[in-house]
Amino acid sequence: CFRRYLLMSLTSCLFWNTFSFSAAVDSKPNILLFLADDLGIGDIGCYGNNSIRTPNIDHLAREGVKLTQHIAAASLCTPSRAAFLTGRYPIRSGMASSNRYRALQWNAGSGGLPANETTFARLLQQQGYTTGLIGKWHQGVNCESFSDHCHHPLNHGFDYFYGMPLTLRNNCQKNNPPDLDAALQAKLWLYSQIITLAVLTLTAGKLTGLISTRWKIIVCVTLVDGLFFISWYSSYGFVQYWNCILMRNHDVTEQPMNLERTAFLMLKEAISFIKRNKHGPFLLFVSFLHVHTPLFTTAKFLGKSHHGLYGDNVEEMDWMVGKILDLLDKEGLKNHTFTYFASDHGGHLEAQNGSAQLGGWNGIYKGGKGMGGWEGGIRVPGIFRWPGVLPAGTVIDEPTSLMDIYPTVVHLAGGILPHDRVIDGRNLMPLLQGRAQKSDHEFLFHYCGSYLHAVRWHQKDSGAIWKAHFVTPVFHPPGAGACYGKKNCPCFGEGVTHHDPPLLFDLSRDPSEAKPLSADTEPLFDTVIGKIGRAIEEHRRTLTPVPEQLSVYNVVWKPWLQPCCGTFPFCWCDKEGDSTQIL
- Give the C-alpha separation, 504 to 414, whole Å: 41
| 519-529 pLDDT tens trace | 999 999 999 99
Q: Is 411 annotated as catalytic?
A: no
| 527-577 pLDDT tens trace | 999 999 999 999 999 999 999 999 999 999 999 999 999 888 889 999 987
Is residue 3 predicted with pLDDT exceeding 80? no
Q: What is the pLDDT of residue 504?
A: 98
> Can you give the length of the chain in residues?
583
- Give the C-alpha separation, 297 to 306, whole Å: 15
| 11-69 pLDDT tens trace | 444 333 443 344 444 489 999 999 999 999 999 999 999 999 999 999 999 999 999 99
- Give the C-alpha separation, 138 to 153, whole Å: 10
Q: What are the residues facing 459 on neighbouring strands?
A: 464
Helical segments of 499-576, H only: 525-541, 552-555
- Hey, is 308 helix, strand or coil? helix
What residue type is assigned to position 527 of the chain? T
Give the chain's end-to-end CA distance (angstroms, integer): 62
- Give the C-alpha separation, 465 to 509, whole Å: 9
> Judging by DSSP bridges, how do beta strands 379-385 and 337-343 pair with one another?
antiparallel
CB neighbours (10 Å) of residue 429?
21
CA 575 to each of CA 27, 270, 372, 569, 579: distance values in angstroms, whole numbers, following the listed order: 39, 18, 40, 18, 10
Does residue 163 contact residue 134 with C-beta atoms inside 8 Å?
yes
- Give the C-alpha separation, 67 to 404, whole Å: 12
Closest CA to 367 of 466, 463, 465, 453: 453
Domain boundaries, the chain: 31-168+244-561, 182-238
Q: Is 77 annotated as catalytic?
A: yes
Q: What is the pLDDT of residue 231?
A: 60
Q: What is the pLDDT of residue 578?
A: 59
Closest CA to 405 of 423, 379, 387, 378: 423
Catalytic residue among 138, 292, 348, 458: 138
Does residue 389 contact residue 25 with C-beta atoms inside 8 Å?
yes
Does residue 381 contact residue 39 with C-beta atoms inside 8 Å?
yes
Is residue 393 predicted with pLDDT exceeding 60? yes
Domain 31-168+244-561, classified CATH 3.40.50.720, yes or no: no
* Summary mean pLDDT of the chain: 91
Catalytic residue among 1, 59, 70, 77: 77
Q: What are the residues facing 36 on neighbouring strands?
A: 343
Q: Collect all residues with Cβ–Cβ distance below 8 Å to 502 and sequence separation of at least 6.
A: 468, 469, 470, 529, 532
Work out the pLDDT band at 280, boundaries 50, 70, 90: confident
- Give the C-alpha separation, 13 to 533, whole Å: 51
Is residue 436 predicted with pLDDT exceeding 80? yes
Is residue 583 predicted with pLDDT exceeding 70? no
